[in-house]
Amino acid sequence: MEKIRWYLLNKKKFFLTVILFLSSLILSCAFDQFSKVYILKNSSRDFSFFGGLIIFTFQKNTGGVFGIFPGNSKFFSAVTISAVIFLLFIYIFLFTKNKLVTIAIGLQIGGALGNIIDRIRLGYVIDFIDLHFWPIFNFADVFIVIGAILFGISFISRT
């Protein structure tokens, strides 16, 4: 009841919070997908940045995070869809006025959708960011991790 009262009294803030959520979700997913399209179109060559510290190189990932359990794309699609539904549940039913949490959930869902789009469209996830000391990943993974860090920061700062 308290949340409904807040919505009615703060329609503008509610609307702006939803816009913030949708913006972080859409922008993160779109950036991820555009970067993957570019890499896919240029998959025959590598791109080096910062004197070779970072290399963009095309790699198919049919497994989970860091390529674990390759060949299980359908399983990881189901896990990703479940995670998106869970995060949407958190956002919708446990709606928060905290902007950091709103952005965090938007980034996590946007990243997850970026990877699920790959799995549905291609049967694998396009990974391409190679740091040499870490398994190859993509921007969707970056957004998911940033979202998790923001989520953690928001809870730490509350205590």
Cα–Cα distance for residue pair 47/39, rounded to 1 Å: 9
Catalytic residue list contains 141: yes
Cα–Cα distance for residue pair 74/62, rounded to 1 Å: 9
Catalytic residue list contains 46: no
Q: Which of 32, 118, 130, 141 is catalytic?
A: 141
Q: Which of 32, 118, 127, 130 is catalytic?
A: 127
Reading the block at residue 90, the tokens are: 């958190």
Residue burial 40-65, b: 16+ Cβ < 10 Å; e: rest:
eeeeeeeeeeeeeeebbebbbbbbbe
Cα–Cα distance for residue pair 159/155, rounded to 1 Å: 7
Among all residues, which ones are annotated catalytic? 127, 141
